[in-house]
Structure 1
Amino acid sequence: MSISMNKILLVLLIAALGISLLEAPLQVSAATTATSSPEGADDWGDSVQPFIDGIMNVHMDSNKIPGAVISIVKDGKLLFAKGYGHADIEKGSPVDPETSLFRIASTTKLFTWTAVMQLVEQGKIDLDADINSYLKTIQMPKTYAQPITMRHLMTHTAGFEEGGVGYQITTDPSKLPVSISETLAKHMPARVNPPGEMMSYSNYGTALAGLIIEEVSGMAYNDYIQQNLFDVLDMNYATVQEPVPASLKPYEVIGYARENGRFVTQPPTFEGGFRPAGSASVSAIDMTHFMIAHLQNGRFGDKQILKPETVELMHSPAFVFHKDMPAMDLGFYELRMNGMRVIAHGGADPLFNTELFLIPEKQLGIFLSYSGGEGSTAALGLTKALLNRYYPAPEIKFPPASQTPDESLQKYAGSYQFVRRNHTDIDKFYSFLVKMNIGASGDRLTIGGGDEQLTFARVGEDLFQDEGGNLIAFRTDESGKVTHLFIDFLSSEPLERTPVINQTQLWFPLMGLSLALFLTVLLGVLYRKRHTKAMPAAQKWAVRLAVVTSGWAIATCLGTFVIVLNMGLVDRLSRITMSLRLFLVMPITLAALTAALLFFSVLSWKNSYWTLPKRVHYTFITLAAVVMSVFFYHWNLLGWQFG
């Protein structure tokens, strides 16, 4: 599954707190490791093990990680590999880099994309042909004039919305295996952007590529990957099968969660029909074979999985967000680390975090995987520490700040939302709170606030840099209006301007005022019981309806955050819980009560119910109920809208 959502949350925390979570572990590591940087940039020498040991030990303790593994390749050879912690705590089994199978989630996509390029080499797939010409069991709707191509799938620019609530994963192995084609036909997301326009990371798109592999090659996806990649690369401890085959079961690393100060086992998650996007379990040593092949023009030993020109094409920019920012290659996303171009792919599920980094110019590959805890933070921190040691970052010249307001920066300020989100299903609601705010102060752009605010200075056209060297860039339309935001270390997740209707700055005040009005009704009825009893029947019913609607609206609002937002990630993506189904009765009931309230509001003015101030108050209560109903409608909580 990839949920690259861990990375998204990391960025949101940075935005909210104004601190670099990526570098915090590095500062600890530097303090506990006495080794100084070697003089020769490529002279890794014998000090690499104690350096990594020192960082790993700190990270595993501070990030509550039960098991981890790392492997590094350099110049076509294995440089370093080691396991840390336990593969199985109860059995006391240590992590073995040669045999321990870590679930790598979305890093699986690199196997899928490599397989696609093999078929491109063979002339069986054209990167720029309509994918419907390859699909036999399903067809993509012709929402836009432009067809979806394999190039669009590989760059995540097909234009699919994000989805997954209730079906992305399963925790029940008895439901496996699952047909890829049946899964994709049943859970087809809407096409919400024209192909090629903007990137939106898509598990569905990768699974679709896996289906094309099946239908073009005539082989099941699992079999194709096994025979054309794993067997060829001597990857004996690797599989995309779910659950892992019986022969590999003894080597499977157990995933853990942290509860009450100790590690507890959790049921593994499975991708099912989405397996081309995230089902692989692989050992760290076997991943070195794959990295070496990609760094050595498709060659591993005397085996060739891709031609050199195909590897070069796959590793070249295929979708460019901004000329000075990392691009998206064919399957790999680019990063900039210490001034070097890195091609990479990570993966995360609820129990595992993985990162794979390749630096072609240094012939260097780094693979890290963690079986719990804050693995994504640890992986990026360790990689940054290694690069700082062996390939120090160039000095950043940060221009002095000016307090004179730069009016030209105001066009960048505002709220941004991730392009990767849902539009048509209940999943949409989960993007409600996921926003990033950019401020403008003096001649700087800002993220966060207070003493820990991040500030960015202009260093180019629509390009800004902070003191740590991190870049953000903006895309503008023909009129000069800002449309998108890019962050260099989150290059696979662009953001776009948040329309007013999606902004929390709109909804929080409206919802807060509405709840306050509802409370005045509930409190008021306690003080005016006797007065209400003396009213004519129609007025009495109007008051009772206002009371019921107010109480129901408050309960529905509370239920939204207690039931919907509070769902665990595994529950949310694996099933539609009964509590969620029952909750969704509440917004529908609220909408019905609101319609009745509107009717009585009109009657109150037509027939001059009560005093003028009371009629005005009743009207405001009605408007508050309308606001609540519109909120639930807009965020797809009005009805059972499942993908």
Structure 2
Amino acid sequence: MVRRVVLIGIVCLVLVNGAVAPGVAAAAAQPGDPATIERLDDAERAAPIHDAVGSPASPQLEGDEIDRLIEDAMADRDVAGASVAVVEGGEGVHAEGYGTADAAAGTPVEPNETSFMVGSVAKLTVWTAVMRGVEDGELELDEPIGTYLENYSVEGEDEITLAHLGTHTPGYEDRLQGLFVDDADAADDWEAKLERELPAQVRPPGETVAYSNHGAGLAALVVQEAVGEPFEEYVEREVFDPLAMDGATFEQPVPDDRRPVSQGHAATDDGFQTDDPTIVGVPPAGSMSATAADMGNFAAAMLEDGALEDPFVLEAESVDAMLEQRATNHPAVAGVGYGYMIGERGGERLAWHTGGTEYFNTLFALFPERDVALYVSFNTAGTTPALADVLDGFVEQRFGGEEPSLEPDPATVDRADAYEGEYRTTAFRTTPEKLVGLAESMTVAVTDEGYLEVGSPLGGGETRWVEVEPGVFEPAPEEDAGMLISTLAIEGDALYVDAPTAPYERVSWYETAAVQLGIGVVATAAVLSALVVWPIGAYRSRGWGRMRTHLTRPRLAVLGGAAAVLAAVVGLLANALADPTQFVYGYSPWLRLALGFFLVVPFAALAALALVGLEWRRVLAARDLEAGSTAPLGLAYLTALALALAVLAWQLWYWNLLTAVGF
């Protein structure tokens, strides 16, 4: 099944902002606290009238330029279909569908009729609903969320506020498992699921910007509890209906009275394979589907002070508050407003968000100072680079774009020691998903020319960066294509890129991916060798009939640990081949059984070390290497195995695998 192949490659992508980036948070100025905003009566508001997004209203040349931009990106990045809307001056100037919504059936994408899953772009409607609740007096941004959650209990509820959730600063670590589910019924009771699966709070609230899918779900739960009706119904009435977003919905599967949703696609050598869209386990975090027309209307309202037509959605002050940067991890990197990422592209200020599910990748970008918006969604896995291509091309087409003229600074070479090393994401702390950090690690080196070279310790493409001020880097001009990150900063042992991704931290030499993988492979091979070496040795020296005399207590302890390691490794491989989706969708009983064997390893290691210690005590007391239960060479081998078993136990603890069975 194509889903199983694709999921392994995108396990770190689910519902995230689409950019790989680290960052430690520093609180930013918070102008115009919207907690005090009051709604105006309709009569007090001079709301402009906006046309719903439909056919292109601008010169055909402009439409042709956008068409070429999208079609080039689709061809270069192997994209099956796209849904696009451009808004300017409060009106839809371009809405179009490209390619196929179902490659198998040949169904074309229609801008007004074909919905795409927008992934985390859905969070923008969550925050529109939050601000609507603030204006109505139902919510306060600086009130602890526990005030509203009488029926639920979550960690940090007495100190975390909606302002923290909106800026991704509640202090929660990340969690992948449970964000996708196999069956829509599993997402029906998402509130209890969210309460049960909420990640641990590992940082003080307000300290660090670190992307949180569960935080967005928690904000939706607060809205639901405060207004006293299901979140989906509240968003429908307060956001979708006023903005004529007739195809938009959070429901899974999409009801028959809504626009049909595109199939998901995976590029192959022979074209595209199709699959049903993913089911999101915490719907407010990313289950929303919508047409290009729907998202064009939403963009028009955000650009025009919260109104599409006379029934407005938000006050202008609320929209402004959402689009103001309110937190950042480093002064030089982009930060966040309420829900939106705030930054620059080609010299243009933008408020934006990306979204990724298993097969869909989406970009929603507002250029408030230009009164322009761009919405692009692709229905093919792994197409985040195509979004960056379109964004850069659009900025260049529409605004001229700034041509970078960066050259490496030779002084960067003198600061190499301050920058070089391996950095690992801090998004995962207390769960076995800490292993994701191996895949998300960055290696940083400085070239002789003064470029900062960033790559992966597991291999893959490298990018080069130019230092524009001490510790702050921008992509070298030739590296810009396909990247949504625009700034990287290194300070001390922390590496930051544009919000909202958690910081990366420089790791010690023994924590690097190469050392950890090397130690794991060598220690595992050493321990498992006992399952071969000792039986062969016993047979050659004593024959099978006297096998029991060969099995001394130290050897039994090591063999017990080796058997547990073998059972765990074989079990993990078997589960990965049988159903790799369970590593994200939820562990099966068979996977938990395999993980349970890891619990034997530390006990076996302690027993082996103690018993080997007694062997050495006898040897040292007698001052004779022959005084132990085995020959000197055998004792050395036994000692090495006990130490290898101890090293494996330490690694299992370090990567949180000893608690994985209950995760």
TM range (shorter): 0.7 to 0.9
- Of all paired residues, the percent bearing the same amino acid is 25
Of 424, 427, 441, 1:417 maps to 424
Verify the 8 A CA contact 2:488 2:497 in the aligned structure 1: yes
Instruction: Report the secondary structure of 1:241's partner residue.
Output: coil
Instruction: Report the secondary structure of 2:138's partner residue.
Output: coil
**Number of aligned residue pairs:** 597
What is the one-letter code of the residue matched to 1:474?
A
Verify the 8 A CA contact 1:319 1:327 in the aligned structure 2: yes
Q: Give the corresponding residue for 1:597.
A: 608
Partner Cα separation in structure 2 for residue 53 and residue 175 of structure 1: 40
Partner Cα separation in structure 1 for residue 196 and residue 102 of structure 2: 37
Q: Give the corresponding residue for 2:436.
A: 430
Instruction: Report the secondary structure of 1:456's partner residue.
Output: strand
Shift of the 293–483 alpha-carbon distance from structure 1 to 2, 3 Å rule, reads farther
What is the one-letter code of the residue matched to 1:154?
G
Instruction: Report the secondary structure of 1:238's partner residue.
Output: coil
Verify the 8 A CA contact 2:454 2:463 in the aligned structure 1: yes
Verify the 8 A CA contact 2:17 2:353 in the aligned structure 1: no
Q: What value does the CA root-mean-square deviation take over the aligned residues?
A: 3.2
Shift of the 589–464 alpha-carbon distance from structure 1 to 2, 3 Å rule, reads same
How far apart are 1:363 and its partner, in Å?
Answer: 1.1
Structure 2 residue 95 is the aligned partner of structure 1 residue 81: yes
Partner Cα separation in structure 1 for residue 506 and residue 215 of structure 2: 24
Verify the 8 A CA contact 2:104 2:274 in the aligned structure 1: no
How far apart are 1:4 and its partner, in Å?
Answer: 4.3
Q: Give the corresponding residue for 2:629.
A: 609
Partner Cα separation in structure 2 for residue 9 and residue 527 of structure 1: 55
Q: Give the corresponding residue for 1:537.
A: 549
How far apart are 1:543 and its partner, in Å?
Answer: 4.1
Q: Give the corresponding residue for 1:217.
A: 227
Q: Give the corresponding residue for 2:469.
A: 460
Partner Cα separation in structure 2 for residue 49 and residue 271 of structure 1: 34
Partner Cα separation in structure 2 for residue 281 and residue 578 of structure 1: 33
Verify the 8 A CA contact 1:354 1:367 in the aligned structure 2: yes
Uncovered stretches (5+) of structure 1, i.e. residues with no partner = 13-42, 477-481
How far apart are 1:72 and its partner, in Å?
Answer: 0.6
Structure 2 residue 361 is the aligned partner of structure 1 residue 346: no
Verify the 8 A CA contact 1:425 1:642 in the aligned structure 2: no
Partner Cα separation in structure 2 for residue 378 and residue 457 of structure 1: 23
Tell me the TM-score normalised to structure 2 length: 0.82
How far apart are 1:138 and its partner, in Å?
Answer: 1.4
Q: Give the corresponding residue for 1:553.
A: 565
Q: Give the corresponding residue for 1:95.
A: 109
Instruction: Report the secondary structure of 2:587's partner residue.
Output: coil
What is the one-letter code of the residue matched to 1:254?
Q
How far apart are 1:446 and its partner, in Å?
Answer: 2.1
Partner Cα separation in structure 1 for residue 438 and residue 92 of structure 2: 45
Verify the 8 A CA contact 1:463 1:474 in the aligned structure 2: yes
Shift of the 201–565 alpha-carbon distance from structure 1 to 2, 3 Å rule, reads farther
Structure 2 residue 65 is the aligned partner of structure 1 residue 59: no
Alignment of 1:296-335 (within 5 A): 296-335=304-343
Instruction: Report the secondary structure of 1:529's partner residue.
Output: helix
Q: Give the corresponding residue for 2:54.
A: none
1:23-57 deviations in whole A, cap 9, x for unaligned? xxxxxxxxxxxxxxxxxxxx974223333333433
Q: Give the corresponding residue for 2:598.
A: 587
Verify the 8 A CA contact 2:446 2:453 in the aligned structure 1: yes
Shift of the 87–415 alpha-carbon distance from structure 1 to 2, 3 Å rule, reads same
What is the one-letter code of the residue matched to 2:592?
R
Instruction: Report the secondary structure of 2:296's partner residue.
Output: helix
Shift of the 535–118 alpha-carbon distance from structure 1 to 2, 3 Å rule, reads closer
What is the one-letter code of the residue matched to 1:626?
A
Tell me the TM-score normalised to structure 1 length: 0.84
1:511-545 deviations in whole A, cap 9, x for unaligned? 23324534654564435632365799376454465
Verify the 8 A CA contact 1:107 1:345 in the aligned structure 2: yes
1:101-125 deviations in whole A, cap 9, x for unaligned? 1111211100000110111122322
Partner Cα separation in structure 2 for residue 554 and residue 451 of structure 1: 30
Instruction: Report the secondary structure of 1:474's partner residue.
Output: strand
What is the one-letter code of the residue matched to 2:100?
H
Structure 2 residue 287 is the aligned partner of structure 1 residue 279: yes
Partner Cα separation in structure 1 for residue 355 and residue 284 of structure 2: 13
Of 146, 149, 166, 1:154 maps to 166
Q: Give the corresponding residue for 1:201.
A: 211
Partner Cα separation in structure 1 for residue 566 and residue 187 of structure 2: 42
Partner Cα separation in structure 2 for residue 563 and residue 411 of structure 1: 44
Partner Cα separation in structure 1 for residue 412 and residue 207 of structure 2: 37
Of 583, 604, 619, 1:572 maps to 583
How far apart are 1:208 and its partner, in Å?
Answer: 0.8
Verify the 8 A CA contact 1:465 1:471 in the aligned structure 2: yes
Partner Cα separation in structure 1 for residue 307 and residue 341 of structure 2: 21
Partner Cα separation in structure 2 for residue 452 and residue 205 of structure 1: 32
How far apart are 1:593 and its partner, in Å?
Answer: 3.2
Of 192, 196, 218, 1:186 maps to 196
How far apart are 1:412 and its partner, in Å?
Answer: 2.4
Shift of the 270–177 alpha-carbon distance from structure 1 to 2, 3 Å rule, reads same
How far apart are 1:217 and its partner, in Å?
Answer: 1.3
Partner Cα separation in structure 2 for residue 492 and residue 498 of structure 1: 19
Shift of the 174–565 alpha-carbon distance from structure 1 to 2, 3 Å rule, reads closer
1:351-401 deviations in whole A, cap 9, x for unaligned? 211111111111111111122233322222122112122323323342455
Shift of the 564–294 alpha-carbon distance from structure 1 to 2, 3 Å rule, reads farther
Q: Give the corresponding residue for 1:119.
A: 133
How far apart are 1:224 and its partner, in Å?
Answer: 0.5
Instruction: Report the secondary structure of 1:458's partner residue.
Output: strand
Alignment of 1:1-80 (within 5 A): 4-5=13-14, 11=20, 45-80=59-94
Alignment of 1:419-498 (within 5 A): 419-421=426-428, 423-442=429-448, 443-448=450-455, 453-468=462-477, 471-474=486-489, 476=491, 482-488=492-498, 491-498=499-506
How far apart are 1:142 and its partner, in Å?
Answer: 4.6
Shift of the 426–508 alpha-carbon distance from structure 1 to 2, 3 Å rule, reads closer
Q: Give the corresponding residue for 2:297.
A: 289
How far apart are 1:558 and its partner, in Å?
Answer: 6.0
What is the one-letter code of the residue matched to 2:93?
L
**Which of 203-212 and 251-260 deviates more?**
251-260
How far apart are 1:453 and its partner, in Å?
Answer: 4.7
Verify the 8 A CA contact 1:130 1:148 in the aligned structure 2: yes
Structure 2 residue 277 is the aligned partner of structure 1 residue 268: yes
Partner Cα separation in structure 2 for residue 253 and residue 535 of structure 1: 64
Shift of the 364–441 alpha-carbon distance from structure 1 to 2, 3 Å rule, reads same
What is the one-letter code of the residue matched to 2:245?
M
How far apart are 1:137 and its partner, in Å?
Answer: 1.1
Verify the 8 A CA contact 2:154 2:195 in the aligned structure 1: no
Verify the 8 A CA contact 1:2 1:277 in the aligned structure 2: no
How far apart are 1:641 and its partner, in Å?
Answer: 4.2
Q: Give the corresponding residue for 2:180.
A: 169
Verify the 8 A CA contact 1:3 1:106 in the aligned structure 2: no
Partner Cα separation in structure 2 for residue 566 and residue 152 of structure 1: 40
Partner Cα separation in structure 2 for residue 123 and residue 364 of structure 1: 31
How far apart are 1:201 and its partner, in Å?
Answer: 0.9
Shift of the 56–591 alpha-carbon distance from structure 1 to 2, 3 Å rule, reads same
Shift of the 464–570 alpha-carbon distance from structure 1 to 2, 3 Å rule, reads same
How far apart are 1:197 and its partner, in Å?
Answer: 0.6
Of 517, 538, 553, 1:508 maps to 517
Partner Cα separation in structure 2 for residue 322 and residue 69 of structure 1: 34
